[in-house]
A and B are shown apart, each in its own frame.
Chain A
Amino acid sequence: MVGIVGFGVYVPRYRIKTSDIAELWGEDGEKIGPGLGVFEKSVPGPDEDVATISVEAARNAIKMAKIDPLDIGAVYVGSESHPYAVKPTGTIVAEAVGCSYNMTCADFEFACKAGTAAMQAAMGLVASKMIKIGLAIGSDTAQGRPGDALEYSAAAGGAAYLIGQKNPLATIEETVSFTTDTPDFWRREGEDFPSHGARFTGEPAYFRHVGEGAKLLFAKTKTTVDDYDYFVFHMPNGKFPVAVGKQIGVPKEKLEDSLVVRQIGNTYSGSAMIGLARILDIAKPGSKIFMVAYGSGAGSDAFSITVEDAILESRGMVPTVDDYIQRKTYVNYATYAKYRRKIKALG
């Protein structure tokens, strides 16, 4: 069965506290963290972007999987902050990890679920035996307009998954998607920052699509909440995944371990995929994982995953999600503004 043969993550070292951002804009710093469920967010260094984050995550995944990069037949990078508008990020990643030139490559874009869409595409190619192994990456250096609510959560990070059939660490039994045309969040060509429909991003967008995606997956796999040990939902903030979990009837303790958003913010295309990686870092063989990624615009990709025995041998080889979360240096708003090119005079 098609599964995950290796995975790796990368989170930049810098962090800014959401209370520091709040104080700059005259908001109550004490309230913002608990209110949003985001206490600090990752900030990429001045020389980091989606290509560099993707390469670091992919190198970790390849090291863990102990595969020959020449066996990778497809490289797909999902992001909404690709460094080039035209010119794929995937070619940079493929060259940097040592892939063969005889492979297919493309960049994916579907707001925060581009990475899981890439996983689904790789699954199809592997299942149909067109390729041996597919590399699917979700990675972002998300931007929030200074002073906008998004600025508290828009973070940077990425996760890479190697999809294959031989000796998987976790098998993917099923995946389904729920997609509609819902303009809850967008960025027009040439715009520096995205726009969003404020409260509209909740009910008709996130909650509807994640809820429907979850329903479809339960129906297709003939399972219920009780059949799963862990749940992972896209994390635009700390509140939404907890609220949607409540709606679906997920016990708190089954969701808790995936909530990386509290310490690193919303890594967009990396969000649910890093949450899943954190579960794969700790789950015992036989555990079942239910993941629903969400992308604005809007759609959700739901996955049913079972952890295999092989996962035990893969541990301790590459840094875990927690290793990256704990490796941090705080920066103030001025440094953050400098690194994120919010100071336009610097070019």
Chain B
Amino acid sequence: MAEQGVASVWRRIKAIYTIQGNMCKTCGSYYFPPRPVCPECRRKGKLELYTFKGLGTIYSYTVVRQAPEDFKRQMPYVIAQVELDEGTRLTAQIVNVDIENVEIGMRVRACFRKIKEFGQGGIIAYGYKFEPTMKVTGHKEKSSPKQKEP
């Protein structure tokens, strides 16, 4: 069973590592996962690959308390519909948060996590999950120890 998942994971690596979808140059709609044709413009559509910025808000969510075998270690965990700033929505796990603090409208950013392991000897699938946006403080300026000396 070790070879399980190889092709299906490999085919989606670009899309799930970096949230790469596409954007229609004709109507300005964004799609994830990438679509072969723009459902709005049909043959007039002009699709181009687009890497999403990875920022969005929680559109809706649920708490998983009965998980499949592979996810038992993570129970309970949050699965949400995340509305990306570009306009499209996707389903993802929300991590780095206590479940009681999750709310609709919460700002989230994409992070890189392990999604699934195909058994102990199989491949590991990585990809996006989302976490609450992190504050960036920057350190306060501090004089170096040498300069403190008289």
Q: Note whether A and B form a binding pair.
A: yes
Chain A interfacial positions (CB closer than 8 Å to B): 13, 45-49, 51-52, 55-56, 59, 83-84, 92, 95-96, 98, 228-230, 251, 253-254, 281-284, 287, 315-320, 322-323, 327, 329, 338-339, 341, 346-347
- Which residues of chain A are within 8 angstroms of B100 by Cβ–Cβ distance? none
B11 contacts the other chain (Cβ, under 8 Å)? no
- How distant is the Cα of A316 from the Cα of B141 in the complex, in angstroms? 12
Q: List 15 A-B contacts (CB under 8 A).
A: A45-B96, A47-B113, A47-B129, A49-B114, A55-B126, A56-B111, A92-B17, A228-B146, A230-B145, A281-B139, A284-B141, A287-B144, A323-B134, A323-B136, A329-B98
| A47–B115 CB distance below 8 A | yes
How does the 8 Å CB contact mask read for B94-112 relative to A, with 1 for contact and 0 for none?
0110100000000000011
A288 to chain B, nearest CB (A): 8
- Which residues of chain A are within 8 angstroms of B18 by Cβ–Cβ distance? 95-96, 98
- How distant is the Cα of A254 from the Cα of B136 in the complex, in angstroms? 26
- How distant is the Cα of A316 from the Cα of B135 in the complex, in angstroms? 10
- Which residues of chain A are within 8 angstroms of B73 by Cβ–Cβ distance? 46, 338-339, 341, 346
B66 contacts the other chain (Cβ, under 8 Å)? no
Interface centre among B18, B126, B140 (most CB of A within 10 A): B126
B136's nearest neighbour on chain A, judged by CB, is A319
Query: Closest 4 interchain pairs by CB?
Result: A316-B138, A229-B144, A55-B112, A253-B145
A46-B73, A52-B113, A229-B145 known; A315+B139 contact, CB < 8 A:
yes
From the candidates A46, A254, A327, name the one contacting B146 in the complex (CB within 8 A). Answer: A254
B143 contacts the other chain (Cβ, under 8 Å)? yes
A283's nearest neighbour on chain B, judged by CB, is B144
A84's nearest neighbour on chain B, judged by CB, is B124
Which applies to chain A's interface (DSSP): helix, strand, loop or mixed? Answer: loop
| A52–B112 CB distance below 8 A | yes
- How distant is the Cα of A281 from the Cα of B138 in the complex, in angstroms? 7
Can you add 20 more A-B contacts, CB < 8 Å, to A46-B73, A254-B145, A284-B143?
Answer: A45-B113, A47-B74, A51-B126, A52-B112, A95-B13, A229-B145, A229-B146, A229-B147, A230-B145, A281-B138, A281-B139, A282-B140, A316-B138, A317-B136, A318-B136, A319-B136, A323-B135, A323-B136, A338-B73, A346-B73
B51 contacts the other chain (Cβ, under 8 Å)? yes
B25 contacts the other chain (Cβ, under 8 Å)? no
B54's nearest neighbour on chain A, judged by CB, is A59
- Which residues of chain A are within 8 angstroms of B111 by Cβ–Cβ distance? 52, 56
Chain B interfacial positions (CB closer than 8 Å to A): 13-14, 17-18, 51, 69, 72-74, 95-96, 98, 111-115, 120, 124, 126, 129, 134-148
| B95–A47 CB distance below 8 A | yes
- Which residues of chain B are within 8 angstroms of A318 by Cβ–Cβ distance? 136
B117 to chain A, nearest CB (A): 9
B116 to chain A, nearest CB (A): 9
B83 to chain A, nearest CB (A): 22
From the candidates B14, B126, B136, B139, name the one contacting A92 in the complex (CB within 8 A). Answer: B126
A47-B114, A329-B98 known; A253+B148 contact, CB < 8 A:
yes
| A48–B113 CB distance below 8 A | yes
- How distant is the Cα of A191 from the Cα of B74 in the complex, in angstroms? 25
- Which residues of chain A are within 8 angstroms of B98 by Cβ–Cβ distance? 329
A96's nearest neighbour on chain B, judged by CB, is B17
B139 to chain A, nearest CB (A): 5
B129 to chain A, nearest CB (A): 7
| B139–A52 CB distance below 8 A | no
- How distant is the Cα of A96 from the Cα of B13 in the complex, in angstroms? 9
- Which residues of chain B are within 8 angstroms of A319 by Cβ–Cβ distance? 134-137
- Which residues of chain A are within 8 angstroms of B13 by Cβ–Cβ distance? 95
- Which residues of chain B are within 8 angstroms of A47 by Cβ–Cβ distance? 74, 95, 113-115, 129
A68 to chain B, nearest CB (A): 13
- How distant is the Cα of A55 from the Cα of B138 in the complex, in angstroms? 21
